[in-house]
Structure formats: structure tokens, C-alpha cells
Structure 1
Amino acid sequence: MTVIPLEEVPETRRWWARAAYAAVFFAVAVPLVAAGLAGTIALLITGLGALLVTVAAIYWFLISRGVLRWCALALAVLAPLVLIFLYIQASLLWEVVLSVGLAFVALVCARAALREPREGSTMTEYPAPTWKHAFLVMNPRSGGGKVVKFDLQRKAEELGAEVALLEGPGPVDVDALARQAVERGADLLGVAGGDGTQALVAGIAAEHNLPFLVISAGTRNHFALDLGLDREDPTGCLDALRDGVELHVDLGKINGRTFVNNSSFGVYAEVVQSPEYRDDKAGTVLQMLPDLIKGAKGARLRAQVDGVTVDGPQAVLVSNGPYGSNDVAGLGRRTRLDRGVLGAVAISASSTREAVGLLRRATKRGLIQRTASEVVVGADVPEIPVGVDGEALLMSTPVRCTVEPRALRVLVPRKRPGVPPAQPSLDLIRLRELAWGRHRAAVSAPAAAPSRPASPAGE
């Protein structure tokens, strides 16, 4: 790993750190001046109490039905309103608003100071392979019709690619399409569609060591985003066919099936399996959640994360590479896809106390978040529902998730938006040293492991 001496830190980062301390000082000073020490303590106690009541009320809203559910919702709404009323009665509302605003400014300044240079945070690029027969699968229905809207078929064919459209009255066997193309001599595979289809064809490309082209024509396009591609302009992804570079990225495996983003177990997977979910998403969620959270319905899960056992979690999320430390739902970004590890998150909240405990980011109960080379999810039933890259499936237990480091050769355009840097952790010791100039070496991101060499196209 490399080190960056503190003396070499840009002066702007020092001033960001000092600004963070200044904002914290004024955030504390405002209520002290307005209300005194006793009043400030009272403000903190009432604010924390309102927060805990709101969280508990939301939990009861999720696990209850009928009158109790709506009473819990009313309490969740009333708690912050009562807090605001108390602040108004004490003539301290604007002071509190100003103090909270200053605290937010302090957080922004601290993150700007702690953000290290991007060296080591981007994936290594390799020369693009030469190809003769590119085969692309395109789903005209995906992403609200992006394939048609951006005229992707014609543009790809003009570049020399063969295109297969997934259209017709019945389902199309994408696996068979891709394998037949490989048998006919395809030396590059690609997909314009959702992440589920991307994962299916990516697995075949990795199996035959062929380059894989991702075209961001799906709805959410998490995989494309984490490759640094432009979700709003899928046409730009085709530039990789004439001016591209190659990235070597990991692939997740779940009972032998490939996934590029994540696999989810528990509450979410149970809900999306319901036949009523497609017609009434919100109503189905509200109807099923009480029994699922309390454990009265659905399988009881048992997750093993590299030997650590989590018994009875309501939800487990296994991702192909870890998400940011503040992202427990898999809705954020992964800064790189070649770390060679899975991300694992297990959430347990079977009581009000545990729901409130999630605020503290509990490690034994409530929330477990770590990286792993293997995650095994068992249950008290032979089959459990699993969401794999947004696809609802049933899988035999135990379900085993593993990672294949740098198994996929992804072809991307040389010019692309890129992946924004991850938010740094709030290291208060490092922040203090940045602000006041104490000498210490700052450790940069670990260097990436040696990559798997690319084989010639068509090998």
C-alpha cells in the first residue's frame, strides 16, 4: 500500500477540516447562548426522545394491522410536530434549525476534508480486444422502451454487431440464444436490458472467457452505473465497440447462477413472490409485512457469513462487492467491482427495542454488515424465495453465495462518466490531524490484487 505524508496534503483539505470544527463550535454555541447549559441539555433530550418515539411508531405501523396500525402512524407524525411545538413554545425554533443546519455544514466540510485522492479507487483498464462477431441481446420492453427510443438496434448493426431482439408472445430463452451465438463463432456478447438479463449473459461470457458489453437500457441499471456508464445515454455504451477498454470484474454466484448486483432473502423476497404484488405493490407490502417481520409467516432464516452465524434475520442482502458503509439496502453505488469479496448485510428487528437499536448500528443484534468470501443462507423449509438481480426465484436450501474474482471481461467506452468516489468514513482523529497539522501518514486505499490476464478474443 502507499502512504501520503500529512505534509503533502493539499492546503484546501486542511481548511475544510478547520471549517468543520468551526461549524461544530457554532452549532453548540447557538443553543448555549440562547438557552444556557440546562436548556441545551433539555433540547437534546427532547429531540432524542422524539426520534426514538418516531422510530418505534414506524416499526409498530409495519407490524400491526387495523386501528393499531393507524394509531402508530398518527404517533409517528405527531412526535416531530410536538417537538416543533415545544421548541416554538420555548422560543427556540430558529435557534434549533440554525444549529441543525450548522451540524450539517460540519458534516459536509468533514467529508470534503477526509476524501482521499482517487488513486487506487478506480479499476484497472486493459486494451480492448479485437472482435469479428459481436452478438447483442436487446429487450425492447426494458427501461420503458429505451432500445426503440434510442434506435439501438440500427446503431449496433451499423457497427457490425448481430442483434437479437427479445420480442414475441411468449418468453424467450436468453441462455439458449447466447449459447447458440457462441457456437456460431461469436467472440463478444452483450446485453441491452435489465440487470437480470445482463447477469444471465455475463455468466455465459465468463464461462467462455469472452468480452461482455453492457448497454444501459434497463430501468435502474445498477450494474452499468457501477461500471461508470451513463444511464441516461445507452447509445454511448456502443462507443466501446470502436473505442473501448476492458475491465476485469467479479461475478457473484448463487447456487451456481450468476448475479452482477445482489441477491436478497427474507422480507423483500417473500413479498415479491406474492401473486398480488404486481397488481398492488403497496397494498401487498402492508398486508404481508406484519407476519413477515414478527416471524409468523415465511421461512426462518439462518445466515452464515464466513463462519459467523446470524440466526433468524428478517432480511439478508448479499452483494457482488460491498456497497458503501451507510448503504444497507443495496440502493447505492459500489466504487469498484474487482475487490474479490461479497458484501453481506443481515437485518434483525423482531421487537421494538431491536428496531430502535438499528439507530445505534448494533453489531450483535439489529444490523450486521461485513465483507465475506462466502455466505450460506439456510432455512427451516426446503425452498425459499430469493430476489436475484430483481428476479423473483425459488431456490433449494441451503443457498450458497460465492464470488469469482475478476471472472468477467467487460468492454466499456474509453470516455464515460465514471464512478463517483465513495463517501469517506468520519475519522475524527484524522480530521483533527488535518485541521491542526499533527504529523501522521495517511494510508490510501489498498492496491488492487493482481488481475487475471486477458486472453485473446475468441480463445
Structure 2
Amino acid sequence: MRVGWQADERAHHKQRWSARASLASAALAALLPLLYGGVAGVLLLLVGAGGIALTVAGLWWTLTRRGSARAAAAALAAVAPAAVIVMFDAANLLWVVLLSLALWVLAVWTGRYALRSTGLRPVRVREHRTPPPRRPFLVMNPHSGGAKVERFRLREKAERLGARVVLLDPEQPCDVTELARQAVADGADLLGVAGGDGTQALVAAVAAEHGLPFLVVSAGTRNHFAMDLGLDRDDPAACLDALGDGVELHVDLGFAGGRPFVNNVSFGVYGAVVQSPAYRDDKVGTALELLPELLTGQSGPRLTARAEGRTLACPQALLVSNNPYRRDDPAGLGRRERLDSGVLGVLGLRVDSAAEAAGLLLDPEASGLTVLTAREVVVDADHPTVDVGIDGEAFALPVPVHCRIAPRALRVRVPRLRPGVPQAQPRLDWRRLRKLAAAVGRTAVAGRPSRPN
């Protein structure tokens, strides 16, 4: 009993000192330019903030202009940060800025360490142990992800494990949904896909419809769904271990206008850009060609989205995701902490000027950015159809488009041993850090009893 108490006390001692180190580092990071550079240092920091704003404004003009105006804006976006660095270096303050940034990083790291064990609980998706499938059926795209199916000999390994494998032929397109349904009719007790997220969503919907487990093989290009399931994206063959030593995760499945999605559906700018036939071969060039009219409202429909009693009017970009994406941890951007929360993530963006673009960077809570969660989202437009990107695939859907989530409708079979999803970092709460830094003994953690006599 005493040993356990001593271990707790040592942990709380580390938390308190980490909180104190975080607060001290943050204070020093803020004061260092003033202490070393005086008023000139503060003025240069203001100039630095202005340089950042000019850079963002230049990027906005680059995206919304053409010809010589675009070239000038791109030059501004490149020159502004370079000029700021030169000014800091000329004033012999560049090292001060770099040291301040390093201190701020230290403040964030130690602050999160201090808060990690004071209320944050890791998200653990429940694993369900089920017997291995007897008649698994897998669809494989041999061209997906740079021919990973062949490089990792996925077909051979799957067949050794008793799976029936069908290779897709891009020269002879087929209905993947019908292919999966026929496999179910033939007695398949597991459906799987080695390919892109769009193909995975189609087969996953069939698996959910029939209550069958679904297998994800990370043989696509980006493998977003596999990443958020905690699968090994560098070794897709390891995903096939689930056919033997596997467990099930019950996760959500999204639908947009009746079409399934495992990751997200994009409306507005991205949804329009992916419609272009040239997008696959030249993503950057196609985007730069189409963005000026799309961002300034000269082309494309005017969108309206309704979610949980809120209305998003005329967003240029709207992302509806199967569970919300993480935003509080730069290392976790583009990832979802969990896939079984039962809600859609909604991210709407509206920027009408360079000043608003700069404000969006400097103020994460700017009015141009809307972030919320909802069980259902309805997207309308002033056109009869709207272009969308569903898990990266281009579609045109009639409006209104109803997006919904089916909670834990999909049984995903994964290997018992897998890398896993990194846990979310706690959001910095400076008030909690101050309380923790000032705490004495076991009072550092709320609700803990005092030391026994």
C-alpha cells in the first residue's frame, strides 16, 4: 500500500515540476525579446507578425488571381518572410527569436506532460474476439498505391490464408458493390479490400448491410482509413494477419446522399476541382487553374449547410467527416482520434479577402472557420446538383444532400498486434497548469485523498 502511494507521489511530483517548467518557459519566451532587445525587440516582433500576415495575404492573392497579378502575389509571399528574417538578423535578434520559439516548444511539451495524467483518459476502442473467417473474400486493385498488391505479394499471402481473391482490371471496369454482394450470396463470411478508400467504402457498406466483418488492407496511396484504424501503412501484408490472429473493432460508417464514405465527403472548392479530368495527372496545375473563379464565387454553386440547428451560409469549402478530425495537436492533424463516437465532424471555411485569410491564421477562432459535430448535415445549393469528393472520388449529387452517420455499423477485423493510433495530446489549459504548479503534495490531483497518517 505504501509502495503504491510513494509511486503516485513521485508521479505527482513530476507533474508539478513539469507544470512549473512549462509556465516558466512560456514566461521567458514572451519576455526574452523585451529583455534583450528592449522596445526595438518588441517592434521587430510586431513587424514579424505583419510579415506573416503579408505572406498569407500573398498566398490568398496567388490563389485568386491570374497572370502577372498572380506572379506578383507569389513573389510577395516568398519575399515577406525572407525580409523579416533579414531584419531580425541585422538587429542581431534572430537568435533571440529562435530561442523564444524553442522555449515555447518546451513550454508546450512540459505543459502537456503535466496535464496528461490529470483527467485525460486515453481512448480505447473495445476489441471483440471472434473466430477467424472460413470463407473470406477480398477485392484487390493491382494498380493502387503504386502496385502494392504485387510488390508485397498480397494475393499470394491472402490465398495461403484461405481467401478468395478477385483482382480488379482498370481496362474492364466492374461494379464493386455488385461484386461484393455476389460474394455474400456465394457464402463469403468476410469482405475485404486492398485498394483505395473509395473502393473500401463501397465494399464496407455491403459488409455492414449484411452484418459481416470487413478487412482493410493498406494498399492504397494515402490509406487514411487504415491509419485511423491503427494499421501498419508501411507493410500492407501485415493487415492480412487479421485473417488468422485478429479482433474486431465496431466503427461508424458515413453516408452522403445514400453513398457510403469511410473518411469524408468534400463540398465546394475541392469537390469541384476533383471533377476535372486533368486532376489525376496534374493536381496542382488543375487547382491553380480553377481556384480563382471558385474562391471568388464566379463559378460553382452557392452552398448552404444546416447542422445541429446551425446554418453555414455560402462556405467555399465544406468537409463532412466520419468522426471529427483532431485539431489541437499539430502532429495529429488529418487524423481522427476515434471512429466510434457516433457523430460527423463538420468543418466549414469562408474567406472573402486577403485580410480575412491573414486573420484566419492569426486567430484560430476566426468567424470564417466553423467547426462542429452533428449526427446529420443537410447541404443545399442554388444548382440542382452539387459536385462532391467522396473519399477522394468525384461525384455529382442532387440537392439537398443528406449526410448521416451509422453508429458502429461496421465490424472491422484487424490484426491483434498492430501499431495503433497515437493518443491525443491534452489541450493546454493555463489555469489548470497554474493550479497544478501551485499545488502541494497529493493535492496536485483533484479528488485525491491527503497522505494517510
TM-score (norm 1): 0.90
| Aligned twin of 1:340 | 342
Q: Which residue of 2 aligns with 1:225?
A: 227
- The one-letter code matched in structure 1 to 2:301 is A
How is 1:170-181 mapped onto 2 (pairs within 5 angstroms)? 170-181=172-183
Counterpart contact for 1:206–1:409, Cα < 8 Å? yes
Alignment partner of 1:278 is 2:280: yes
Matched, 1:257 2:227: no
Partner of 2:128: 126
Written as runs of structure 1 = structure 2, the 5 A alignment for 1:389-400 is 389-400=391-402
Runs of 4+ in 1 over 6 A off after TM superposition: none
**Residue aligning to 1:267:** 269
- Worse-matched range after superposition: 376-385 or 101-110: 101-110
Root-mean-square deviation (Å): 2.2
Q: What is the distance in 2 between the residues matched to 1:145 and 1:287?
A: 30
Q: For residues 75-224 of structure 1, what are the structure 2 equivalents within 5 Å?
A: 75-116=76-117, 119-167=121-169, 169-224=171-226
1:315-362, CA deviations, whole angstroms, 9 ceiling, x for partnerless residues?
A: 00000001112489x962111110000000000001223212212446
| Residue 409 (structure 2) aligned to one of 407, 410, 435 | 407
Counterpart of 1:299 in structure 2 is 301
**Counterpart in the other structure of 2:5:** none
- The within-5 A match list for 1:67-78 is 67-78=68-79
1:75-122: CA deviation from partner (whole Å, max 9, x where unpaired): 112212221222233222222222222222222222232334874402
Instruction: Sort the Cα spacing of 1:46 and 1:360 in 2 relative to 1 into closer, same or farther, 3 A.
Output: closer
Matched to 2:421, the amino acid is V
Name the amino acid aligned to 2:100: S
Identity %: 56
Which 10-residue stretch deviates more, 218-227 or 359-368? 359-368
Q: 2-side partners of 1:394 and 1:28: how far apart? A: 50
User: 1:248: Cα distance to partner?
Assistant: 0.5
Q: Which residue of 1 aligns with 2:451?
A: none
Structure 1 residues 250 and 440: alpha-carbon distance in aligned structure 2, compared to 1, 3 A threshold: farther
Q: Is the 8 A contact 2:34 2:42 kept in 1?
A: no
* Aligned residue-pair number: 436
Contact 1:17 1:435 in 2 (8 A): yes
Distance 2:371 2:20 in 1: 32
SS of equivalent residue, structure 2 residue 162? coil
- In structure 2, list runs of 5 or more residues that go unmatched: 1-7, 448-453
Counterpart residue number, 2:379: 377
Compared CA separation, residues 420 and 364, structure 1 to 2 (3 A): closer
CA-to-aligned-CA distance 1:139-192 (integer Å, 9 cap, x gap): 111111111111111111111111111126221221111100101111111111
User: What's the secondary structure of 1:278's corresponding residue?
Assistant: coil
Q: Indicate the residue corresponding to 2:37 in structure 1.
A: 35
Matched-pair contact (CA < 8 Å) for 2:327–2:333: no
> Equivalent residue of 1:144, what SS?
coil
Instruction: Give the whole-Å Cα distance in 1 for the aligned partners of 2:446 and 2:231.
Output: 31
- Residue 326 of structure 2 is matched in structure 1 by 324
Distance 2:274 2:353 in 1: 24
- The answer to whether the 8 Å contact 1:362/1:368 transfers is no
Which sections of structure 1, spanning at least 5 residues, go unmatched? 1-5, 444-459
User: Bigger CA drift: 147-156 or 101-110?
Assistant: 101-110
